[in-house]
Structure 1
Amino acid sequence: MSQTDGSRDSVLGRALAVLRAVGGSATPLSRAEIARLTGLPKATANRFIAQLVAEGLLQPVEQGVRLGLGLFDLGNLAEQQGLGLSDVATPYLAHLYEITHETVQLAILDGLGVVYIQKISGSASTKLNTRVGGRMPLTCTASGKVLLAHCKPDFRERVLRESGFARRTPRSITDRAALDRELSEVRRRKYAVDREEFQTGTASVAVPVLARSGTAAAVTVSAPSDRLSVPTVVPALHATAAAISREIARVQPHLDR
């Protein structure tokens, strides 16, 4: 999780680096792992971890530390103040789930990764290694490829320079030329497909949620790769994304700037 901009040198930047390292892991992280992932000296990482634990933003567990409930409280405050894209989108995501009966997710770009802010699934849905609030790679997820395809070129360069390619499965894209072709195709057809690039046995399709300022989010449907029909789910995804875009403009205009 290396960062080269000046924000990394600030106290806030280093604290965020620690939180993002912990939040990006599916399991608790040890202090040594946090120091390695953030590039901070061990003593500095330990000091920030202790401060974040004291504030309730990290929680000590037997295996190390994980995100604390203090972050959940802050998230609730943000929702109460009208900053919740997931609240705006959830009724439409629920309708999409009723149509497809597959796992439905809403994702946004955050830092150099994609973060899922809503997830709806049922007992028959495919089991995805994702969670609300979890950070995943941009280059091997359908939602990540949609968001990356509509970013400015200099941001894409930064992602590849600082994060590189995530090889989650043998099908993950790990070649720059292949990624450029894929992102060009995403922009042309207005949706992205992940066929076992993120998780073996699973396929996903994602489309952008558009706002006046650009792409606000991505809506994704995921299913077992032998069950997912791209031609079937794409129209439903586009209809859902369009409805969310209209609702953003109607009730949350600050999200559409």
Structure 2
Amino acid sequence: MSGLVVTRLSVHGGEQTIVDAATLSAPAGQITGLVGPNGAGKSTMMRAALGLGETVGGEVHFAGADLLAMGRRERAKICAFVEQTATTETRITVREVVGLGRLPHQPSWQAEPSEKDETIVEQALAAVELSAFADRVFNTLSGGEQQRVHLARALAQQPRLLVLDEPTSHLDMRAQRHMLELLRGRATAGLTVLMAIHDLNLAAGYCDRLVVMNYGRIVAEGAPEDVLTPALLRDVYGIEASVIAHPVTGKPLIAY
């Protein structure tokens, strides 16, 4: 299958099973939303799938290649990860942070960014509307601005698989829409996008597919209109809610 395929991935934390034989797919050219309550195991599962956490079983393939068998640098040429929170006390500029995305593609002897690197960094900054912030010190930015910088860093990495952990959590409504439209455009161009997202209405509006986790297990997977049902919301989230069609898009809209 073209895209990401996770098969029976398990992660333990001490005596606790955090991810329990998770099997899911994120097709190329689509946005797959990973949803579920707090503590469901979403962040742990994504990190483990990218080789950033210890697994106790399972397989992860992208476009047929075994991701977990790859070296870290080789994997970084394929996959980019945007964490929910990533800060630094180092006085590093926004341009320098975004430039870190070029490291997997640079030979070890390269001391300075190439002209190509600089062009790609400028394009990534423009994509997230932060060109004017390029020379600002990163840790002086707001949480939402920092989140957009990290997306720019991931775009500069030029991945084929982009994994994001709550990418809209610190953003206002306009910035949320811009980020999700940006991801929509990249997915349409062939990028595989997997993102954990809490806002189910945003997930329904922008994701092609949803994967629902609860207590470390995958409990549902499919198109938003098939997954987001009153029964699932009751069983997984413990809420009574109605699911109606959005008056403009026709996508599922949760009212509770």
TM-score normalised by length of structure 1:
0.30
Higher strand share: 2
Higher helix share: 1
